Amino acid sequence: MTFSREITWSTWNPEKPKIATNRLVVETGNAADEIHVRSWPGDKLPFIINGRPYVLDAKALQGPDQSLLIKTNGGDDRVIVDDDVKHLLEVEGGAGNDFIQAGGGMSGLFGGGGHDTLLLGSNSGYAEGNDGDDLIIGASGNTIMLGNAGNDRLYAGFGNAHKQNLLDGGDGDDKLYAGSGNNYLKGGKGDDLLTGHDRTSFYTGEDNDRITNHQPTDSIHTRVNDHWTLAQSTALNEAIPGKAGEQPS
């Protein structure tokens, strides 16, 4: 296990270089690790890693606010960041069946190989399941989710009416569930299930997809061979292949 700090400099003005990013990096090995990040008053950030406590400086001495990168590499890892930890967060799970829960800051979660569970937090978040059959769940913040390879389940989560959600299943037979606010669901390759909520735009991918939604104002962009169920008066846009230069019919 290692602790390090990454600093990048901006030399846009060579006479006055300044710190562009400041990141605290925590990296574990290829075993099954457990990491719990908590918040303390003041400028300290406590970690409990495999049962042992560590306290690190949470505030950058100069430059922008310090962000946090956690890399767990191989193994079935468990990473939990409490919601009152507001640092910009990135977690790379690596190989293994990982469980990763974001905190209250903006977050990016990357599952790696294996069947991963990724839980986004109350701030805006980005999550990639990558290889394996993954479960990705959003919370009250804006969400971007990519299932990538595998039979994935993506849940946008619930929040206020202005919440924005983009879900892309990628390869595999995926299940995508819209949440509060504005939703954009894309099936990708495979036989996918897309379920709407609030305001939803559906974009089916290759193979046979099934669409269920509950708002007559939702829009659905689909292909000829897809299967769907529609709410009454839903707008349907059929993509018809054509030649370059032709006007769409």
In angstroms, rounded to a whole number, what is the distance separating the alpha carbons of residues 208 and 193? 9
> Rounded to whole angstroms, how far apart are CA atoms 247 and 72?
51
Cα(79)–Cα(180) distance, integer angstroms: 26
Over residues 101-117, the mean pLDDT reads 97
pLDDT at residue 248 tops 80: no
User: According to the model, what pLDDT value does residue 62 have?
Assistant: 73
Which residue matches tokens 């980005």? 126
- For residue 246, the model assigns a pLDDT of 47
Per-residue pLDDT tens digits for 139-196: 999 999 999 999 999 999 999 999 999 999 999 999 999 999 999 999 999 999 999 9
**pLDDT value of position 104:** 97
Q: CA 231 to CA 212: how far, in whole Å? A: 8
pLDDT tens-digit map of 209-227: 888 876 888 888 877 766 6
pTM (two decimals): 0.89
Can you give the pLDDT at residue 220? 86
* Comparison of pLDDT for 6 and 49, the residue scoring more: 49
In whole angstroms, give the CA distance from residue 10 to residue 63. 11
